[in-house]
Structure 1
Amino acid sequence: MGSDTMARAQIEPAQEEQDPRAGGLGCGGIAAVRVDRGKGPFHGVLAGGQRERDVIGGDGGSRARQARGRCRASSSRSVRDGTRGFGMMGSHALEVEFSLLRQWLFEQALPLWSTAAVDRRSGGFFEWLTEDGAPVEEPRRARVTGRQIYSFAIAEQLGWDGPTRDLVRHGLVSLESFIGTNGFVVPLKTVDGTVLRHDFDLYDHAFVLFGLAAAVGTGEQCARLEALAEQLRGRIQAHFAHPVAGFQEGPRGSVVLKANPHMHMLEAALAWETISDDPAWGALADEIAELCLEKFIDPETGALREFFDHDWNRIEEAPGDLVEPGHQFEWAWLLKRWGLSRNRPDAFRVADRLIAVGEQYGICRERGLAYNELNGDLSIRIGTSRLWPQTERIKAHVISYATAVSEQAAEASARLAVEAIRALRRYFEYPLRGGWHEYIDVEGRPIRNNTRTSSLYHIICAISEVADLIDTGNARRQHRQVARVASF
């Protein structure tokens, strides 16, 4: 989710202190860790840093085969049976909302995006569909291909009976075509393969790594794809590592440093560390999470900032003082996942503050929607509402519910998750069955436009997070593991 405000030439357009026990982990608190019923590489970290591959055992090939029904530690129902009931009002509403989301996904969205948006002639995926369902012929981005591979891999694990494996393989052929002769990812090219951008874009590299992890999570070409991912990660680190931490996308002083692509590198690293024996993935996740805790958070407001100078100092002048409500929620979700696996209550405290910032300053109470952008002082910069921040709000409250240490905190998180799901479903009121609006304006009216392929990743990730929390009753139930409890 790139910003549309700061240094547009450098950024490709896409795109009060809380008690830590009140919604997450507190010192001395008990956190329940969730069960991933079949999510492959995407969240399989057990309490205390134990990875699911250590539980499952076996070599790389057998790990990947078992990833089709992979389980992970969870504070979902299996743990909560021993700590709190699952029948609270907010939790019941959450189950109802999940049922509606899943029905829409299986009956409308996936049938559309698995057919109309798939380019069977030239390969890859179309970037947009019109309101009539016709593909829009535009240049292709590497990031979208990685996202679509993930989306169809997760669709399989959610129990959709469509041609998911064929779609993952179709995506892989296209994804590898984005890797140039120099070993780096080409961010943008025409349908016929002509390269339109030659610059290094960390965001696109992150989603190529993420898509490769998704494919391996289904059991596809495990050894070869893992080697490809390790080579790509190594090249990034060798050529674009920042001397302090993280990455820089150009020579010193030539570009601003950005938090957003680091967020997706963290997401990719967390995915890979659960299915790979290579400790470099965990080390990369640690480096980025620590960088976030140390540099990305404004100590005066507790908000996560987006842009920095070469020494990782926050840019205070507009428009570089951008705060994105959606990223407050998304980083909170990632920090809580990382914090669970590393026994880091400080990560939970920061995450809870990010959620508080998002809720207090980033939500329009009249419309019930997350704003697009805030200023550094947390005043509103852009009051329209894109689709993707609503999905990140869902994920943040779902993981807060899953890790809450009291009935009251769990109920509050469940109610906010329900509110966020209902907000998201407003975007699905689109002329094309299975499509979605990308924007809702300040009056609460959808802004008519084509429907964007890249948003499927956001939507299905949020749905999958809810699915991991509650008992869906689908085929993933048989793969459930006994959840572990992390004590801080």
Structure 2
Amino acid sequence: MSVVVPIAPFDVANFASSFVPRWLQLARDQVHGGIVDRLALDGRPVEGDAKTTLVHARIAFTLAHLHLATGDQRLLDAAIDTYRFLDGHLRDADGGYRFSVSRDGQPLADPTSQVRRTYDQSFVLLALVTLRKAAPNAVSQHRIDECWDFTSQRLTDPGTGALWEDDVMAAAGAKPGDLRAQNPHMHMFEALLQAFEMTGDRVWLERAEAMLEIGRRFFIDEATGAVREFVGHDLQPLAGTDGERREPGHQYEWAWLLHRYADLAGVNDARSLADPMIAFVERHGLAPRSGPLEGLPFDALDARGQVTENTHLLWPLTEAGKFYAARLADTGDAMRARGLVSTLARHFFAPAAATGLPVWVNRLDADGRPVWSEALSRLLYHVTIFVTEGARAGLWTLTPLPSPTAENH
């Protein structure tokens, strides 16, 4: 029989060995396969949701990544199972991955479900290269090549090298009024760095460097060094609310990636791009020390640093946490990452402490009250990298799965 890990509140040390396996018991669809989109706080799947490429790619990556960090075979088995649903139901014949299918894995009539978003393809690539590293027989190199070929040939503007938002924009071209987002570029940069780290093949590093140049050229505000969320259809700076939007979480995420690139490529110049991003968010984008959510990133600012959304999503906290954890060797400051993981457990994972269920809330108001009380499956990707970066930095240790005793054989 398998080892049963006792139910406990969210604890970073037991995240991989206990929390995630218990979450899988609730989030895996035992009837149709795959992963549900979200859980209510009572641990039940929210009815009526489609199944998406984003969730399946992120969860396949998350589980494979945790397996590589811990050696836990349960996580690898679940990663392979999640990938099989992704490959069998969400992948199209041309190598692209559609937005969603029905809960039972069937194509949907809604045209938006058939769109191949560049953002989603980045997470597919992230999942494929990581799972192939963890289990070479589970993912073929051909699948990885097809995903990249679809992205580079179908979703990339040949004139600029920038990514189209999706295959609809790629077919029609960007029109006045269309927004071009930094987010697909950032996550493709992440996936390409991961591909290089997983394979050692420098072609992936060269592709990552090209993606970094797109980010540098079009999405960094020269006035502050902060990352813009959106530019216009022509990739030029945009006036108005969309063009002014700056998200603290993405400043941290880009900064973490820039340092990761510098570490992998030995190119220290990239670190200088990260410094203004962190300076901007630390100056303008964190909840005050006098409040109940000290140091928690706000959801959005404008270009001058004024807070435009004083709520707090879960994921920006994890991006801040993984940045500070990864930079521990340089700064010697363990308090920021430790403080953020304490806030994560105390506020966002409070339902886990109260009920013993592996659930969380997604957003808090300025006073720390939940305003979005659902456990979105895709968020485990964010929490996982924070947890593993902290472990890599020596801030905590991931508890291994107990060795089976003779009675358990």
TM-score by length of 1: 0.71
Selected match of 1:396 from 323, 333, 348? 323
**Distance 1:165-1:342 versus aligned 2 partners, 3 A rule:** closer
User: For 1:294 and 1:448, how far apart are their aligned partners in 2?
Assistant: 35
The residue type equivalent to 1:132 in the other structure is D
The residue type equivalent to 1:247 in the other structure is L
**Distance 1:183-1:330 versus aligned 2 partners, 3 A rule:** same
1:163 aligns with 2:74: yes
> 8 Å contact 2:224–2:276 — kept in the other structure?
no
Structure 1 moving runs of 4+ over 6 Å: 473-476
The residue type equivalent to 1:399 in the other structure is A
Selected match of 1:209 from 125, 128, 141? 125
1:121 aligns with 2:46: no
Selected match of 1:460 from 384, 388, 402? 384
1:244 aligns with 2:160: yes
Selected match of 1:380 from 296, 303, 307? 307
Once the two structures are TM-superposed, the CA of residue 460 in structure 1 deviates from its matched residue by 0.9
> 8 Å contact 2:15–2:398 — kept in the other structure?
no
> 8 Å contact 1:322–1:376 — kept in the other structure?
yes
- For structure 1, which segment, 263-272 or 240-249, has the greater mean C-alpha deviation from structure 2 after superposition? 240-249
TM-score by length of 2: 0.84
Indicate the SS of the match to 2:56. Answer: helix
User: For 1:157 and 1:343, how far apart are their aligned partners in 2?
Assistant: 24
Larger helix fraction of residues: 2
Which residue in 2 is equivalent to 1:70?
none
- The alignment covers a number of residue pairs equal to 369
Residues 82-120 of structure 1: per-residue CA shift (max 9 Å, x gap): xxxxxxxxxxxxxxxxx941135533x213222110012
Percentage identity across paired residues of the two chains: 26
Residues 40-62 of structure 1: per-residue CA shift (max 9 Å, x gap): xxxxxxxxxxxxxxxxxxxxxxx
> 8 Å contact 1:257–1:309 — kept in the other structure?
yes
1:296 aligns with 2:219: yes
Residues 324-347 of structure 1: per-residue CA shift (max 9 Å, x gap): 100000010001111222333331
> 8 Å contact 1:104–1:434 — kept in the other structure?
no
Q: Which runs of 5+ in 1 are unaligned?
A: 1-98, 477-488
> 8 Å contact 1:106–1:160 — kept in the other structure?
no
> 8 Å contact 1:316–1:376 — kept in the other structure?
no
Once the two structures are TM-superposed, the CA of residue 290 in structure 1 deviates from its matched residue by 1.8
**Distance 1:194-1:103 versus aligned 2 partners, 3 A rule:** same
Which residue in 2 is equivalent to 1:24?
none
Once the two structures are TM-superposed, the CA of residue 448 in structure 1 deviates from its matched residue by 5.3
Residues 191-225 of structure 1: per-residue CA shift (max 9 Å, x gap): 13123422231111111111112211212426x53
Which residue in 2 is equivalent to 1:225?
140
User: For 1:418 and 1:230, how far apart are their aligned partners in 2?
Assistant: 39
Indicate the SS of the match to 2:308. Answer: strand
Selected match of 2:367 from 427, 434, 443? 443
Once the two structures are TM-superposed, the CA of residue 475 in structure 1 deviates from its matched residue by 6.8
Residues 69-91 of structure 1: per-residue CA shift (max 9 Å, x gap): xxxxxxxxxxxxxxxxxxxxxxx
Residues 386-440 of structure 1: per-residue CA shift (max 9 Å, x gap): 00000000111122223x1xxxx323xx222222222222211015422111111
The within-5 A match list for 1:48-447 is 100-107=11-18, 109-137=19-47, 138-159=49-70, 161=72, 163-176=74-87, 177-192=89-104, 193-195=106-108, 196=110, 197-221=113-137, 224-242=139-157, 243-249=159-165, 250=169, 251-254=172-175, 255-276=178-199, 278-365=201-288, 366=291, 367-368=293-294, 369-402=296-329, 404=330, 409-411=331-333, 414-425=334-345, 426-430=347-351, 431-432=354-355, 433-447=357-371
Which residue in 1 is equivalent to 2:406?
none
**More contact order relative to length (CA 8 Å, sep ≥ 6):** 1
> 8 Å contact 1:105–1:434 — kept in the other structure?
no
Indicate the SS of the match to 1:454. Answer: helix
User: For 1:379 and 1:410, how far apart are their aligned partners in 2?
Assistant: 30
Which residue in 2 is equivalent to 1:81?
none
